[in-house]
A and B are shown apart, each in its own frame.
Chain A
Amino acid sequence: GAGVSQSPSNKVTEKGKDVELRCDPISGHTALYWYRQSLGQGLEFLIYFQGNSAPDKSGLPSDRFSAERTGGSVSTLTIQRTQQEDSAVYLCASRAGRGEYNEQFFGPGTRLTVL
């Protein structure tokens, strides 16, 4: 079946512009995560959605970052007034149900470059 998909695969933008990154999780997966992978760093947790519960936003680095998940499926990560330090690969993952034991399935990522 289809895996997690993300779009665009690459995004180049100018400093100060807003960007939207999209994630389509695996159908039926109730949990959705956004991570950021910077050069030489591990994955940094950004935000987590579980079903209809309020999202866990504890990893968002600033109020320029926000995310929505519509209808319990597609999610959009928005970065306003982008800065050069926002350049990274943004990864989305989805998981069936709750519990840390369940595997997270990752998308291919969106590489964001802020000039």
Chain B
Amino acid sequence: GNSVTQMEGPVTLSEEAFLTINCTYTATGYPSLFWYVQYPGEGLQLLLKATKADDKGSNKGFEATYRKETTSFHLEKGSVQVSDSAVYFCVQGGSEKLVFGKGTKLTVNP
């Protein structure tokens, strides 16, 4: 079945460091791809999405590009902040259901 594999954490960075969280998916066709974020004590919320190959999703300084040739959707941010500390989930859409990766916990230290 469809699955999503993302970089295992935890990831600890200093403020203003560059962030990459790798994500690859397995699916037939062209599923939509998402990154969801879970801040401490809060519910899951959509961070960004891309609905077709070569699309770039972006929000709050985060970006991810839908790469069909490598079946990847890596999350990047050029300069992280303490407030970015959270758990990040790479998610694959398809039909009506979402398939989640296991999540990567990011801690940003001042």
Contact = CB atoms under 8 A, between A and B. Distances in A.
A108 B31 contact: no
A56 B45 CA distance: 23
Contact of B43 (A40, A56, A107): A107
Nearest to B90: A42
A42 B102 contact: yes
B97 A56 contact: yes
Nearest to B31: A100
Interface residues on A, range: 20 to 34
A31 interface: yes
Interface stretch (A11-19, A43-51, A68-76, A77-85): A43-51
Contacts of B49: 101, 103
B97 A43 contact: no
A40 B33 CA distance: 22
A108 B43 contact: yes
Interface string B33-62: 000100000111110010100000000000
A62 interface: no
B102 A101 contact: no
B44 A100 contact: no
